[in-house]
Structure 1
Amino acid sequence: MKSTSISHLFFFKVTSLLVLVLLFHFPRISHAQTIEDLKKDLVELSSKPGYESDTLYLNKGNELGFMLAESNPDSAIHFLDKQIQLCREANYKKGESEALKIYGNALQNKGEFVASIEYYTNSLSIAKASSNENLVPGILNNIGLVYYNLGNYTEALNNFFDAIKGAETAGNLNVKAAALNNIALIYFEQEKFEEAKSKYQEMLGIYKDLGNQGRQILAYNNIGDVELRQNRPVEALKNLKIGYASALDLQSPEFIEMTARTMADIYAAMDSTEKAEDLYRRSIAIAEEKGYGVPYSHSLLGLAELYYKKGNLEEASVIANQGLEQAEKMGQTTQLRNANELLAKIYEEEGNYQEALNKYKSFKLFNDSINTAQGQRLAANLESEYEFSKKTLEFEKANLRQRWLTFSAFAGLFTFLIILFLVFRNRNKLDKAYHSLKEKNVEIKHKNEKLENTVDQLKLTQAQLIQSEKMASLGELTAGIAHEIQNPLNFVNNFSDLNKELLQELKEEVASGNLDEIKAIANDVIINEEKINHHGRRADSIVKGMLEHSRTNSSDKVLTDINELADEYLRLSYHGIRAKDKNFNAEFKLDLDPDLPQVNVVPSDIGRVILNLVNNAFYAVSEKAKSGSNNDRDEGYQPTVTVSSKTNENGIVISVQDNGNGIPKHIKDKIFQPFFTTKPTGSGTGLGLSLSYDIVKGHGGELTFESKEGKGTEFKILLKM
């Protein structure tokens, strides 16, 4: 999977205000003309007595609130406060539900997602209580968008699919198309690009049939966005030019902003930085003027990315921090992730490593909350459920038509008593079938609950084991690093104490005027200071090395010296085990090919694989050394672990070999299985080799082993060049 970066904004621009306009069902026409016309209509209607309770007046007010919510959310909120009160005083439930929903739209357009939930929930309750089911699908779709923007894809998908089912029942094609678009957004986020494009094209077909030009713009924009992520920028630009021209024709600020922002991403991908910068600035200007929170943050980060690529780090940092500030105001997870990642890269480039590390940690936190497999599984399940319900409905309709034709054909041939008898008999059968089906449903529900409980327990156990494995690896690394850094620190302390004594002697010799002795002591102090400096630099290099690891702990592949990596993690493993077990004693050898070429890998991941294999090797020789019954011990057994590297026709081979007891034949097929371990309870999780196998496979390589019982084991990592 491609690493998360600011280029991922190709998706997130679709999550802006321009997605939110899909929620509404009012006709799409020119903003300036519509708002002015609606204001005139309201003034005219307000001249009539009792206009406050006139449903025509209240409906016109909701239409005006809707248009304001799209073009000027702050004005809409001020207007809708009064509109909601008028609907309540008139006891006009439909109007009140609609006004509350529009209020939620305005809050969403401002980026105030959490606040909008309350208004949508109240709107939904009123719609259901007043049996106005036609309003329900649109409100569900809006609630789904709130959860989507907050990063809760599970709740978002539930609401989107419920909205589609309700829209099909009510015949509301606008809401169905809107929900299709929103489901496609999540497919896009999960990099299911073909599925996302299919949903967007289905949405485009609906809006073409409805003649809705504004929504067609959105569809062209989103299809282009998918094609850009599929590395087809020329095709993407064709779709965006169609959408941008239509947006200018409509004079619609939100569609102009959206298409300008997406075209900026395309030009940025094509290295047309001047065009991209101009379009980003257009988007920022419109979003800032209209109060579109999410687009404003998106385009700020896109512009900051351009400056970063051009090497203008100071300007990039200022703009990226503006984008982060806007994302923090909204609590928008995806934008918080992207802003922190870009700032981490900028600070690292500037040499501000501590701040870069802080931003990277924030990026990792938000990224992990987004990339969850739960949303993907739920999407597949709900999609299947949706398709199944459609087929079931079609079958029932066809079955009903067939029964009616059969009944009509034979109605004239049978008497009323025969018909009555058949109806009575069929009714008894249906009752029995119904009761049987009901019992089976109860049984299935009970089994599903048991399965869900089992799955939850397995997930919890898996999470605990993985955490245990991570903490064990961290402990080993920490102990090794502590041992590595202790030696230079001891030298620094010892020579510092020695200099203190020499300087005291120097003061005494100065007092006695012994110039030769003063010179000799001064020379000794200088020599000691050089040693302090040397060992201080050694400690500094260790710290810098660890900082370098923290900076490169990402999913980016870089050219890496495998020999250096193997040497470092072998020593870390040895010192880590020595720090935990003072009685541990073993030899380790390095047989590294000096001409080994560098290879593109994720250093922290391959380092973890080497660490796991070396830890297992040291454990194997230690166990054999502790055993008092083996023949090798009687002959002077020396525990030895050898790490070597070489090249062959397939790539680079890293070998970790030990002379331990070897792997028994009956468990050789199990050692790469998750949670399988031969260590005593509490000594291992059984995830080390499984995770190592997956990491090497993820690099396109192979992890194999050869073992002889009583002789030892050799693991080989093949990395293809």
Structure 2
Amino acid sequence: MRTGIFIVLLILTAGFPGLQGYAQNSRFADNIDDTTRINKLNSLAGNFLKQNQYDSCLKYASQALTITENLIRSKSVINNPAYLKQSKYHKIKSLIFVAECVSVSNPLKATDTLLSALKLVKETGNKNQEAEIYAGIGEIYTMLAQDQPSLVNNLRSLAILRETGNKKGLAWQLTIVGLNHRNMGNYGDAMEYFLESLKVSREISDSLTIIEALLAIGFTYGYVEKWKDALNYQQQALKIYQQMNDSLGIARIYNDMGVTNMRAGNLGVALKQHQEALSIRLKSPEHYYTFASYLYIGNIYEKLNRLPEAIANYEAGLRYIKFSKYLVSGIDAQLNLGIVYMKSSDYQKALNAFSSVLELSLKIKDRTSEAQAYLYIAKVWLAQGEPLRALTWLRKAEKAAPESAIVFLGDTYQSIAETYFKLGDYKNAYINLKKYDGVKDSIIVSENLEKITTLSNRLEFENRQALESENYKKNLAINQAEIKRGKITRNFSLFGMFVAVILAVIAFVRFIEKKKPNSRLNDTLSDLKSTQAQLIQSEKMASLGELTAGIAHEIQNPLNFVNNFSEVNKELIGEMKDELAVGNWQLAKEISIDIEQNLEKINHHGKRADAIVKGMLQHSRTSSGVKEPTDINALADEYLRLAYHGLRAKDKSFNATIKTDFDETIGKIDIIPQDIGRVILNLITNAFYVVDERKKQQPEGYEPTVTVSSKAVLPPPTGGGTRGVQISVKDNGPGIPQKVLDKIFQPFFTTKPTGQGTGLGLSLAYDIIKAHGGELKVETKVDLGSVFMFHLPIQQNTK
């Protein structure tokens, strides 16, 4: 499903006839005015875009853009507001065409181009266009697999569409936001948006948006392996396409159902459905989805180990991919084809396929695919008994592989070790085997975490579905009760003579039942208290989750030192034995000194790892409620670094300058360290979030900065001691609007997108500081940033 920019183009290019005739002679007569030229050039660009001829589209859109920019700078246009507005409208169209044509080959340029268009749209005041451009920017981030900035822009688009009342645009965008959440694993949030999209679509009776919502819901059920429900929604979409007599739409559903059945293990059914889709697509002029059908069929044949059929379909599909700008799809197809060729021992064709993967990867600067190409080329040479040639490519694979691709790195190190072993270089074989062992545990952890995340997302989705089902049953019961009550009321009117008696009976029954609501209220209060406790515990565990990646990063460093110095000591001990054997006591003594120093370093870093683990356990355990002497500077510094590295581990694009300014005269103070730690962590993660969001909106000339400081001060009025301490977390984010400031410490209030915040963090922080006899407050200035600070009293007996 293409959305975002493409929706804009469908709107903007509608109603332009006779475009191909102009393409044959783009030199328009001199007497045609500039506006007509711009219209025709933009029309040509739109036509070529629909035909996937991106170079031609870019050529004519760029020409239109040049004429428009000259026009806007002319005095006659500047002095005519109506004509100026119209000229800006034409420029917006040209900019959008340019962005669409380069969105894959140069996504950065596409984003900058759309931002230029957005600036013009805001000048013209066209809210619907503004929403569409935000959606277009969101689509580019989706293509780059950057889900968070994609969601941010799509939510902006959604907010504008809600404001304008554009129901069709709203229905589309609700589905897009749902897809963002689904990509991020938030299946419950995704389903809420999809269901709202389906509701809005049915209200306006728009078949296409109904279909998109149905298919999105179906695939979400597929993600949680509810295959029957997934196929049910896909069948509903199929019926609509059949009523519309839309053959390509029918083919699309056959492909979608084929994917569902393939994932469910029904390979025979899936193969038949993809073949039915392909038979329809071969009769149409479109190419990309014909390629996709061939690729699906090839995948199934490969799973069935019918390799000749798999090769035939992969090769057939590749004849169509050249018509698409989605080069990454070509990478997947060539990679699959190369692997099947290897299984068939056709090594020359395998090399050709992997070389094509490398060429395409370098073209779109995809480092992961580039590294995969190097690795598989090496495996081809290994399979042919050419370890020296293989080693050259394996070194390239190791260099190109992203640090986060630990599974790939493990495969690479293992292949390098195997290659050195075949070359008789046992030392390097051993070294790379050790490297493989080093990442093997990380691979296992990563796979387990992925399984846990998948299961957690599935459980969250099923719980939400169960809750919604329960609410539905309750609402149904209420509606039925109201219907019955209505019937009783009508019957009363027929038996007026019994009104007094019936009212008396009702009064008696209400008197007898009076205690039941009180009982239900008590049960409800108990449930609310239980829910509150669960929410608080969820918030605590969420904060632990924020630390997990940072802890993994922090603990890896000392462990690396321990491992490295242990290896060095092992070698040094061997050298020392050799020197002692020949009577070289002096050199042996010098070596022993090096060994001793290394042991001290091992001990130091071991204690560092131990401290990190203890800190994590202390944070995760239930608070004892007992205050203990704590170095609050060390506590703040620890959480600052863990939070920073945790965010970096989750989002490699995140970066911020961190500063500290701690008052060393404070010493240890009596606090509950788990609770105060949660407060500090919440303030720091909030600060990182706002500066990162501002960086995404203001990429040039802005340096995200978070500063954590402490100082000894007089206690706040609420404090009971003679001295106090103040901890401050300062950011240079956008600041906090007054309407948000008024609610910022209220429970469940959050400005973060759905699924990213419980709204309990600052509320719990406020309560924790208050329980310590302190005060939490915030100072903010719009566009300059905010400072959250809390005061804690220092008791007289504090050491």
With the shorter chain as reference, the TM-score category is: 0.3 to 0.5
Larger radius of gyration: 1
Structure showing greater relative contact order (alpha-carbon pairs closer than 8 Å, 6 or more residues apart): 1
Q: What is the TM-score with the length of structure 1 in the denominator?
A: 0.47
Q: What is the TM-score with the length of structure 2 in the denominator?
A: 0.43
